[in-house]
Structure 1
Amino acid sequence: MQGSKKIIDLLNKQLTLELTSMDQYLAHSKIYEDWGLEKLGQKLTHEFDEELDHAKAIIERILFLEGQPDTASREAIHVGDNVQQMLENDLAAEMTVAASLVNLITECEKEKDYVTREILETLLDDTETDHIYWLEQHLGLIKLIGLQNYIQSQMNGDAAT
């Protein structure tokens, strides 16, 4: 089914953001693991996997709309020097992703592409309720208990925390 060129182009821009976030999560997860912060490493590996799922959904939709997915483009990633900076950089990236999704959903409405809109609404819900919420929660914990206590709390455990 031939889709709107405008929507395909915007989907490719969204794909770039999702792949960029994926790369940043991968870098941060490996740094956390290297520092012995197993909980953070596991959580960001989980986030990497979710970003990959987002990218797959966008690629599938671009292909359905008879477009060519751009899997090579990336924005600059922002690897932090410390735990708090890394979490703040991840939050900034997710806020950019969410704003882009909102814009793309609005354009889908204008183009009457309701199926793409529905796919993107699912991604937006995940971005807001899982990624952004978790990052804001953990940055709040740093303020509440202090950076050193927070770091200590992330030294071992499972990815569900």
Structure 2
Amino acid sequence: MWTNPRTAGFLSQALSHEMTVVQQYLTQANLCDCWGRGEECAYFRREAGEELEHAGKIIRHMLTLGLAPNATRLEPAHPGRDMTEMLGFDWHLEAEAVRLYDDALRHAQRCRDDASSRLFAELLADEQAHLQELDRMLAELAQKENRHG
């Protein structure tokens, strides 16, 4: 089965990105566990699980296209020294994902690749929701910091 090379590239990039984010969230979950911050640990573990589901969807799609999944470009984790820094690092990763999936979706639509378009649209919506949640959490942290001086 022939696959547009640029679509294959977007899928490989997406898989590498999702696995990078899984690594990031698991690192942060374990750090929060070391700090005795169970609620934050649970949050990061849930996020890692969601991102792992994204990776699974990408892998399934790659397999249906006859592509061998290969996440070769994992970025190092950036744990952060406190919650604000952690969420800031995560915000940048999620913003990167939004840009990636927006570009990939537009490409798939131009190619009239409905299956890839559906996948990228779903991933884009999920990542936009993550970004909004991070915006909310960062705003709450900023308010707490302002109240406590």
- The answer to whether TM tops 0.5 is yes
Conserved? CA contact 2:27–2:77, under 8 Å: no
**1:135 corresponding residue in structure 2:** 134
Conserved? CA contact 1:17–1:97, under 8 Å: yes
Letter in 1 for 2:70: D
Query: Aligned pairs, how many?
Result: 148
- 3-state secondary structure, aligned to 1:146: helix
- 3-state secondary structure, aligned to 2:66: coil
TM norm structure 1: 0.86
1:2 Cα offset (Å): 3.0
- 3-state secondary structure, aligned to 1:118: helix
| Separation in 2, partners of 1:147, 1:57 | 41
- 3-state secondary structure, aligned to 2:80: coil
**1:123 corresponding residue in structure 2:** 123
1:148 Cα offset (Å): 9.3
- 3-state secondary structure, aligned to 2:116: helix
Conserved? CA contact 1:98–1:127, under 8 Å: yes
Q: Relative to 1, partners in 2 of residues 1:111 and 1:41: Cα closer, same or farther, differing over 3 Å?
A: same
Q: What is the alpha-carbon root mean square deviation over aligned residues?
A: 1.6
TM norm structure 2: 0.92
Q: Relative to 1, partners in 2 of residues 1:45 and 1:148: Cα closer, same or farther, differing over 3 Å?
A: farther
Conserved? CA contact 1:32–1:38, under 8 Å: yes
CA deviations over 1:77-136 (Å, ceiling 9, x no partner)? 32212221111001111100111000100110121111111111111111111x212211
Higher relative contact order (CA 8 A, sep 6+): 1
Gaps of 5+ in 1: 150-161
Letter in 2 for 1:124: L
Gaps of 5+ in 2: none
| Separation in 1, partners of 2:76, 2:38 | 26
Conserved? CA contact 1:7–1:108, under 8 Å: yes
Letter in 1 for 2:79: V
| Separation in 2, partners of 1:8, 1:15 | 11
- 3-state secondary structure, aligned to 1:68: coil
Conserved? CA contact 1:30–1:41, under 8 Å: yes
